[in-house]
Amino acid sequence: MANASGFISSSVPSLRRRNLHSFGFSRSGVCSFERITKRVFRCSAVEGAEKYASGVSPSESRVPRIVNKGCKLVGCGSAVPNLLISNDDLSKIVETSDEWISVRTGIRNRRVLSGRFFLTMHASAINPSFRILGKDRLTGLAVEAAQKALQMSQVDPDDVDLVLLCTSTPEDLFGSAPQIQRALGCKRNPLAYDITAACSGFVLGLVSAACHIRGGGFQNVLVIGADALSRYVDWTDRGTCILFGDAAGAVLVQACDGEEDGLFGFDLHSDGDGQRHLNASIKDDETEHALGSNGSVVNFPPRHSSYSCIQMNGKEVFRFAARSVPQSIESALEKAGLTPANIDWLLLHQANQRIIDAVATRLEVPTERVISNLANYGNTSAASIPLALDEAVRSGKVQSGHTIATAGFGAGLTWGSAIVRWG
């Protein structure tokens, strides 16, 4: 592993000899990987299905087989809405300015879903025509990002075993992941489900993908971070409306030999006591229920409910992130047997440039090794890390073999970090 000077550090253990981890709980109740020999037990259900297909009775396959199994990130993609909202645009609806926003947050523009239909033109020398592709929606962004990740990975949709949609703003109360799986054309009907952890969602998705691969025999897992927080923003509140944008990003996590494992360590936490500092809680409809009450049961039928706009105590969230995020990254690095000097890139959830700078300073990571695209997109919640990663990979900044320390943090409160290798 290259250190900051580009030379091989003898103090860093060889990554090819690195032990895998088993998923468990510490005394504090926090999920973690404990170091064990680099072997995992394959899920008996998967093993049983394979033996049953080959003519072996399922009753003969109850003992799991030990296999070497690792996972690696092999493809990425992203998508953003067409509608761009600048700081100057916001200054026309709330009392603010480009300077006020950029100095305090580092944000200059953000992309927002309009909900309108968009068109594409099929050029023909004889008869140019327009075709309606669909609505400007979050699922559309997620599908586009996933398709790009599959193309980079050279993986067919039919070879996807699992789709994890990390979002807090699904377009269906019961989750949007199955709709994305359908739109991708996955004919084998792989499992697809949502992970709700706000701005920490993508990191949790990466760890979940690793668990499914290492312990469940999955081969190709799509991890998609996608959010449309613009739908829950109070556009008259300058403290929050200046921060958020919409986007989607995706990575393809693929099974590999244990020697090539690309997830070196992670650290995950939550603290429900901090929910009061950042939330979008459910609220009752103030209007009377259309059906009224028949008088036989008090307060029934219940009123319709909806979610409030995002409520945030910016100062408290900043203190939380500046304190907790570097501690989490240091813990993940320690589990990986690495130090900040051994990482090639620091990639944090894109919430506020001041938070990014504070964490980098604490970890003594130089500015040139910090990935940030916050100025162009604002806080895109679960999409921010894969969106920034995709741009860094496609620009040639992040290259195969580079080690990345990444961390998400936000509502819940939740936070977590992962040390990964690209490619």
Give the residue numbers annotated as catalytic, written as ranges: 199, 349, 379
Which candidate, 73, 406, 400, places its Cα nearest to that of 251? 73
Rounded Cα gap, residues 407 and 419, in angstroms: 9
End-to-end CA distance of the chain: 14
Per the CB < 8 A criterion, the answer to whether 199 and 381 are in contact is yes
Per the CB < 8 A criterion, the answer to whether 421 and 404 are in contact is yes
Backbone angles phi, psi at 31, to 5 degrees: -65, 140
Contact partners, residue 402, CB within 8 Å, separation at least 6: 344, 345, 421, 422, 423
Would you tell me the crossing angle of helices 384-394 and 201-216 to the nearest 10 degrees?
A: 80
Rounded Cα gap, residues 173 and 48, in angstroms: 34
The tokens describing 205, both together, are 């998705």
Per the CB < 8 A criterion, the answer to whether 417 and 267 are in contact is yes
Rounded Cα gap, residues 411 and 326, in angstroms: 17
Rounded Cα gap, residues 183 and 187, in angstroms: 10
Q: Where are the beta strands (DSSP E) in 315-381?
A: 345-348, 370-371
Which candidate, 337, 359, 335, places its Cα nearest to that of 346? 359
Contact partners, residue 380, CB within 8 Å, separation at least 6: 110, 227, 229, 244, 245, 246, 247, 350, 387
The separation between CA 192 and the C-alpha centre of its own chain, rounded to angstroms, equals: 15
Which strands sit side by side in the sheet containing 70-79, from one edge to the other?
A: 70-79, 246-256, 220-228, 162-166, 191-195
Rounded Cα gap, residues 4 and 387, in angstroms: 25
Collapsing DSSP to helix, strand or coil, 96 comes out as: coil
User: Judging by beta carbons within 10 Å of its beta carbon (0-12, 13-18, 19+), is residue 362 exposed, middle or buried?
Assistant: middle
